Amino acid sequence: MVRRAEQSNYSLESIDRMALVLKALEQAPEQTLEQIARLSGLNESTALRYLLSLSKHEMVERNEASGRFRLGLSLFRLGSRSIEYRDIVTLSLPVMERLLAQFGESVNLATRQQGQVMLLRVLESATPTRKGAKAGETDAWHATSLGKALLAAMPGAEATSILKGGPLAAYTPTTLTRYDDLLRDLERAQTRGYAIDDEESVEGLRCVGAAIRDHAGVPRYALSVSGPKSRMPYQRTEEIGTAVMKGAAEVSRALGA
Amino acid sequence: MVRRAEQSNYSLESIDRMALVLKALEQAPEQTLEQIARLSGLNESTALRYLLSLSKHEMVERNEASGRFRLGLSLFRLGSRSIEYRDIVTLSLPVMERLLAQFGESVNLATRQQGQVMLLRVLESATPTRKGAKAGETDAWHATSLGKALLAAMPGAEATSILKGGPLAAYTPTTLTRYDDLLRDLERAQTRGYAIDDEESVEGLRCVGAAIRDHAGVPRYALSVSGPKSRMPYQRTEEIGTAVMKGAAEVSRALGA
DNA sequence: CGATCTTATTTCATCTAATGAAATTGTCAA
DNA sequence: TTGACAATTTCATTAGATGAAATAAGATCG
């Protein structure tokens, strides 16, 4: 009954082109036909046809006044459905709620998506100082506890190939932009069991994160707690880190790791 | 510069077929090729090609063990982007937060999408008893305060055409399933300024909602507060209803109504 | 108020690339 | 082992996608 497709040339070009259009629309909130054509590399006629066709299904909308195009609400509906029934979301929710209740800081769940780290769910701290990250956003691999927790948990070769994808951008003065520093940090995370982001992505923000392994033992998700450094002194970081690690292990077990 | 497409035959069939596939995938969390082909009306070969092509872009994923198909995480990412920059979401957030703080009950924002009422944003009450609705879900027009608030605010002919779409399904014993009853209820909502859902969609749940008008005065969104009837006696319903109505008017003004 | 410019939309001849019936292959269950 | 079932691949056919060029609608400027 189960047989997996092997042919790579088994792909519709129109779907690839549609994906190019959507990828272009992701780049900015609202764009003109010209911009979209340029970004997607499609002929203007073709880009317009894709945009109008997608509009019909509300996957693309346009600003009535300016005629510009933007991503449509059908995508929001489909996207909501796409995580609704995932085990990872339902299984980690109780753990996330417990961490939020215990420490009062924001709790985040992320996964790998198209080579990036994407937030799946965010439980926000009730305090006014919070990062304000939203599910669906993508984070840097090397500058967040979520990304580093995943990197530290995966085979070295895989981590290397991800990091080779681009330079280590500096988001703050403490971002680890040197390869050696990062590798050492990942080793520390490995022995410690959780990764630390000490203002490396956002100034004033400290996070601790640990990887979650799926049924096959693959580190596919990561759990983190993040808060302003004023409320996250190093001693507390250790305490929270241990709890995050335990929580991640608990979810891993629930997934059948 | 702005010229609007008029030709309806300006649409790519491959995009229509892709939409059929995605629509089929929305019906259930995970499906076999056969189910998807049947639901979408496509030939199995064709359906498979679309599914594999969409998989390449992570808009579709498959269960490794069973080979079944499901909606992919790219859609979640795209969907998040699609509401990120909308005025309605940013403008109503402060109002929603104020209502949550004031009454301690869940606050919901919805819009029309593909002929249905879809939740755009939900701020959940901190109490354990809460509906647990999630953004992206769709609600019944005739059995929720959000739907009824929209119906009551739109021209009668439009409301009628929406309601003619199907029978008035009964979700609870108090759901208004008779056309006359519903119309009378909508009239009451009109004079009152907000709609009430008194356990009409979920037993034990009471909601009050009001419509938000866009810059052109079209009732495009709705705001509601929902809570268990134990905490929503009629007197409080009135108080909250007035606040919701005022909040909705505030957002309408912010949108330029 | 008209001319000009910019950008979106439409047309249409060409031929790429999508289709689906049938054959094949892999898995599961007996 | 052997069917039975469902997924995958092949391939001849032609539907339907493409893009260059023409057109139309606003916007801007003099």
Q: Are strands A116-123 and A106-113 parallel, antiparallel or unpaired?
A: antiparallel
Q: Look at residue A254 and tell me whether its pLDDT is greater than 90.
A: yes
DSSP string, A38-55: HHHT--HHHHHHHHHHHH
- Average pLDDT over every residue of A153-182: 95
Range of the domain at A43: 13-75
Q: How confident is the model at residue A9 (pLDDT cuts 50, 70, 90)?
A: low
CA of A77 vs chain B CAs: smallest distance (Å): 5
Backbone phi, then psi, for B139, in 5-degree steps?
-115, 165
Domain stops at, among A47, A75, A103 = A75
Which of B72, B23, B5, B213 minimizes the C-alpha distance to A69?
A: B5
CB B208 within 8 A of CB B224: yes
Domain shared by B161 and B53, yes or no: no
| Position A6 in a domain | no
* CA A118 to C1' D23, whole Å: 45
pLDDT of residue A22: 97
> What residue has token string 């929580």?
A247
Domain shared by B61 and B178, yes or no: no
Domain stops at, among B22, B49, B77 = B77
* pLDDT, chain A, mean: 93
Q: Look at residue A8 and tell me whether its pLDDT is greater than 60.
A: no
| A188 to A195, A204, A223: CA distances (angstroms) | 8, 22, 18
* Contact (CB<8Å) B75/A75: yes
Quote the Cα angle for A58-A60-A64, to 5°: 95
CA of B212 vs chain A CAs: smallest distance (Å): 18
pLDDT of residue B127: 82
pLDDT of residue B4: 65
| Position B101 in a domain | yes
Q: Look at residue A176 and tell me whether its pLDDT is greater than 50.
A: yes
Other C-beta atoms lying within 10 Å of the C-beta of residue A113: 18
| Position A4 in a domain | no
> What residue has token string 């909130």?
A29
Which of A196, A212, A92 minimizes the C-alpha distance to A148?
A: A196
| Position B2 in a domain | no
Judging contacts by C-beta atoms under 8 Å, the chain A residues touching residue B78 are: 22, 26, 71, 75, 79
Alpha-helix runs per DSSP H in chain A: 13-27, 33-40, 44-56, 73-84, 87-103, 145-153, 156-163, 179-192, 234-255
Which of B243, B176, B174 minimizes the C-alpha distance to B210?
A: B243
pLDDT of residue B2: 56
Per-residue pLDDT tens over the stretch A86-131: 999 999 999 999 999 999 999 999 999 999 999 999 998 888 767 7
Per-residue pLDDT tens over the stretch B220-250: 999 999 999 999 999 999 999 999 999 999 9
pLDDT over 90 percentage in chain B = 86
| Position B8 in a domain | no
Domain shared by B68 and B174, yes or no: no
Per-residue pLDDT tens over the stretch B129-151: 677 789 999 999 999 999 999 99
Domain stops at, among B55, B77, B99 = B77
- Separation CA A215–CA A218 (nearest Å): 7
Domain shared by A63 and A93, yes or no: no
Domain shared by A199 and A96, yes or no: yes
| Position A8 in a domain | no
Domain shared by A177 and A221, yes or no: yes
Q: Look at residue A17 and tell me whether its pLDDT is greater than 80.
A: yes
pLDDT of residue B85: 85
Per-residue pLDDT tens over the stretch B26-42: 999 999 999 999 999 99
- Please report, for the domain that includes residue A47, its CATH number: 1.10.10.10
pLDDT of residue B5: 65
Is residue A63 within 8 angstroms of chain B, CB to CB?
A: no
- Count of the separate structural domains present in chain A: 2
Report chain C positions within 7 A of protein CB atoms: 6-11, 17-22, 25-28
Q: How confident is the model at residue A16 (pLDDT cuts 50, 70, 90)?
A: very high
DSSP string, B228-242: EGGG--HHHHHHHHH
pLDDT of residue A227: 95
* Contact (CB<8Å) A52/B5: yes
CB B146 within 8 A of CB B133: no
Domain shared by B227 and B130, yes or no: yes
pLDDT over 70 percentage in chain A = 96
pLDDT of residue B8: 44
pLDDT of residue A23: 96
Per-residue pLDDT tens over the stretch B1-34: 556 665 545 789 999 999 999 999 999 999 999 9
Judging contacts by C-beta atoms under 8 Å, the chain A residues touching residue B120 are: 76
pLDDT of residue B136: 96
pLDDT of residue A4: 67
Q: Closest nt to A35 (CA→C1')?
A: C7
> What residue has token string 């699609």?
B82
Per-residue pLDDT tens over the stretch B149-188: 999 999 999 999 999 988 999 999 999 999 999 999 999 9
Is residue B133 within 8 angstroms of chain A, CB to CB?
A: no
